[in-house]
């Protein structure tokens, strides 16, 4: 048993990564799959595309390395969170397309619940803001709008799950999820660590649809030998951001990581009781190992690396995402331009579903390079707002922020981020921390690694970015950012509001 296989099911691609005992990447396979945008603000995936691409990657990573399934000690699964899948229990066929976390179609449902005074109840039980981002209103929408869905659900014929549940069901036939994913549905009580009957009734969800909640680290079931030629145990499950926090060895209260992916997600270890946020951050379950649960504070930025994809696909000013750094560096600064990437609304700490993307401060001298620079800087500005909110909530001093995700390879972004935060930003040697976290959770369950201490000792820094800006200049820049955000807010409020 020489390896752990991590399945990393993301928003735009599926990946499979093999890790060795040192926590090093041995092999990686990746496959993009189609995105569906049936209407403005709607984002969907075909669950079969998710499954087929993930299975293909897992098989390819073994085949390419000439690795036999009997050398793999366990499989860990990590996934895009909140994305909502409903399938037929008997045939394991999807009922319809999955509604993706980025989808905004249920914003009006959230408005109605807010008007009915339900937001404080939801926050108290789930730690979440009432927002279209989470699974509950997506599931409610599917049960209402897909013909026959509600009647079939009430007869016990349909299963609901986030992407981890869907993959586990396809691999093993067992209908489960872990607490880190359950905590993102807005149906799960993070205090009792159980599905909440009052919330199920509020959203009209039959309890028979729900997966069983299992520990994040623990053997769930074996993958059917048909998939890999041998039964491999599924032994770790965690939502992508929680997995990345675990993979960054943020195992102690006050440790922070920020992932620069499609969105940006900053998480702080908050100890072993659910934190209370007074600054519109999310309280969420980190992971359950044995019978011990760790909690996290989380701030979500919806458009991180996706802002750079927009420069590439929407504006066509770069050929590939990696080109953004050189273009942005061709000018000394953004020339006074601020880009607020509220393309799908704003996440924490604003939670404005009706904000829209805005560029301010342009002059006749503004070039594509200034806009590229402003786009990179916007990623850092949004994350800086999150850390400020976190430090207020947690009342603890943050000594460093551990960075990962694709855009963490951008040195310009990392230095600008350290300057805005006023604390060092540290990039680890292994930036595949999401998959690594899932591998660690699975490996701990089967004794591949002995303890969290052994795991934490494997974490090593590749580069440390020290802040170089005076505090007064930093405050000035954040104040300008706040002015820019004010222009983007509430732009798309429907006429009837």
pLDDT, tens only, 348-369? 899 888 899 999 999 999 999 9
305 is in an annotated binding site: yes
The Cα–Cα gap between 4 and 78 comes to 13
The Cα–Cα gap between 57 and 27 comes to 11
Q: Nearest CA to 138 among 99, 177, 96?
A: 99
Torsion sign across C-alpha atoms 125, 129, 130, 131:
negative
309 is in an annotated binding site: yes
Q: Nearest CA to 298 among 404, 180, 439, 423?
A: 180
- In this prediction, residues 13-32 reach a mean pLDDT of 95
Residue 300 lies in a domain: no
- In this prediction, residues 326-346 reach a mean pLDDT of 93
81 is in an annotated binding site: yes
- In this prediction, residues 156-185 reach a mean pLDDT of 97
Residue 397 lies in a domain: no
11 is in an annotated binding site: yes
Confidence band of 496 (pLDDT split at 50, 70, 90) = low
Q: What are phi and psi of 242, to 5 degrees?
A: -65, -40
Residue 495: what pLDDT? 65
CATH of residue 28: 3.30.420.40
As given in the structure block, the two tokens for residue 72 are: 């793999």
Question: How many independent structural domains does the chain possess?
Answer: 1
Residue 405, pLDDT > 80, answer yes
Residue 453: other Cβ atoms inside 10 A = 10
Confidence band of 1 (pLDDT split at 50, 70, 90) = confident
Confidence band of 492 (pLDDT split at 50, 70, 90) = confident
Mean pLDDT (the chain) is 94
Q: Where are the alpha helices (DSSP H) in 4-134?
A: 47-64, 107-115, 119-126
Residue 289 lies in a domain: no
Domain span at 190: 3-240
Residue 215 lies in a domain: yes
Residue 166, pLDDT > 70, answer yes
Residue 41: what pLDDT? 83
The Cα–Cα gap between 286 and 180 comes to 6
The Cα–Cα gap between 374 and 368 comes to 10
Residue 420 lies in a domain: no
Secondary structure in 3-state letters for 160-207: EECHHHHHHHHHHCCCEEEHHHHCCCCCEECCCCEECHHHHHHHCCCH
Cα distances (Å, whole numbers) of residue 380 to 129, 266, 338, 393 = 23, 11, 12, 20
13 is in an annotated binding site: yes
The Cα–Cα gap between 115 and 109 comes to 10
279 is in an annotated binding site: no
The Cα–Cα gap between 65 and 70 comes to 13
106 is in an annotated binding site: no
Residue 222 lies in a domain: yes
Q: Which residues of 98-123 are buried (b: 16+ CB within 10 A; e: fewer)?
A: bbbbbbbbbbebbbebeeeebbebbb
3-state helix, strand, coil split of the chain in percent (to 5) is 40, 25, 35
- Residue 188 · residue 197 · CB < 8 Å: no
As given in the structure block, the two tokens for residue 91 are: 């045939």
Pairing of strands 25-32, 358-360: unpaired
Residue 497: what pLDDT? 54
Residue 451: other Cβ atoms inside 10 A = 9
Query: What is this structure's pTM?
Result: 0.91
pLDDT, tens only, 46-93? 999 999 999 999 999 999 989 999 999 999 999 999 999 999 999 999
Residue 127 three-state SS: coil
pLDDT, tens only, 229-287? 999 999 999 999 999 999 999 999 999 999 998 889 999 999 999 998 899 999 999 99
Residue 282 lies in a domain: no
pLDDT, tens only, 99-146? 999 898 999 999 999 999 999 999 999 999 998 989 999 999 999 999
Residue 70 is classified by DSSP as G
240 is in an annotated binding site: yes
The Cα–Cα gap between 199 and 41 comes to 25
Q: Nearest CA to 405 among 397, 413, 395?
A: 413
Residue 373 lies in a domain: no
Residue 376, pLDDT > 80, answer yes
Question: Pick the residue with more confidence: 397 or 310?
Answer: 310
241 is in an annotated binding site: yes
Q: Where are the alpha helices (DSSP H) in 194-284?
A: 197-203, 225-228, 240-247
363 is in an annotated binding site: no
- Tell me what percent of the residues of the chain surpass a pLDDT of 70: 99
As given in the structure block, the two tokens for residue 408 are: 């963490």
Biggest alpha carbon–alpha carbon distance for the chain: 64
The Cα–Cα gap between 249 and 237 comes to 16
148 is in an annotated binding site: no
């Amino acid at each position: 048993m020489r390896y752990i296989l991590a399945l990393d099911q993301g928003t735009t691609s599926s990946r499979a990564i093999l890790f060795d005992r040192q926590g090093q990447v041995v092999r990686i396979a990746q496959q993009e799959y189609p995105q569906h945008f049936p209407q403005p603000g709607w984002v969907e995936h075909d669950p079969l595309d998710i499954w087929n691409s993930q299975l293909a990657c897992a098989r390819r990573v073994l085949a390419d390395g000439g690795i036999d399934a009997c050398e793999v000690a366990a499989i860990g699964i990590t996934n895009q969170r909140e994305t909502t899948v409903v399938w037929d229990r008997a045939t394991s066929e999807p009922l319809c397309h999955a509604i993706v976390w980025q989808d905004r179609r249920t914003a009006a449902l959230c408005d109605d619940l807010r008007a009915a005074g339900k937001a404080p109840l939801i926050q108290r039980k789930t730690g979440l803001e009432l927002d279209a981002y989470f699974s509950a209103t997506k599931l409610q929408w599917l049960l209402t709008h897909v013909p026959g869905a509600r009647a079939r659900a009430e007869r016990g014929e349909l299963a609901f799950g986030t992407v981890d549940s869907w993959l586990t069901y396809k691999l093993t036939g067992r209908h489960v999820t872990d607490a880190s994913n359950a905590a993102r549905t807005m149906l799960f009580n993070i205090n009792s660590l159980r599905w909440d009957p009052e919330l199920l009734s509020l959203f009209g969800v039959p309890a028979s649809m729900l997966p069983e909640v299992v520990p994040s680290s623990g053997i769930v079931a074996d993958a059917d030998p048909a998939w890999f030629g041998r039964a491999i145990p599924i032994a770790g499950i965690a939502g992508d951001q929680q997995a990345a926090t675990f993979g960054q060895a943020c195992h102690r209260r006050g440790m922070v990581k920020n992932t620069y992916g499609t969105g940006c997600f900053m998480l702080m270890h908050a100890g072993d009781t659910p934190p209370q946020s007074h600054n519109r951050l999310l309280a969420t379950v980190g992971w359950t190992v044995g019978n011990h649960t760790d909690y996290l504070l989380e701030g979500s930025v919806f458009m991180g690396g996706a802002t750079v994809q927009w420069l590439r696909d929407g504006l066509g000013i770069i050929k590939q995402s990696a080109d953004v750094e050189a273009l942005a560096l061709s000018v000394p600064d953004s020339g006074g331009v601020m880009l607020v990437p509220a393309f799908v609304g704003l996440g924490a700490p604003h939670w404005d579903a009706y904000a829209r993307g805005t560029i301010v401060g342009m002059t006749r001298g503004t070039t594509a390079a200034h806009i590229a620079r402003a786009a990179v800087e916007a990623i850092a500005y949004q994350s800086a707002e999150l850390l400020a909110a976190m430090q207020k909530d947690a009342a603890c001093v943050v000594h460093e922020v551990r960075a990962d995700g694709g855009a963490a390879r951008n040195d310009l972004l990392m230095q600008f981020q350290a300057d805005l935060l006023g604390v060092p930003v540290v990039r680890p040697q292994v930036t595949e921390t999401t998959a690594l976290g899932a591998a660690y959770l699975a490996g701990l369950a089967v004794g591949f690694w002995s303890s969290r201490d052994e795991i934490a000792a494997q974490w090593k820094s590749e580069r440390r970015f020290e802040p170089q800006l005076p505090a007064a200049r930093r405050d000035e820049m954040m104040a300008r950012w706040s002015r820019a955000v004010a222009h983007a807010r509430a732009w798309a409020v429907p006429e009837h509001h």
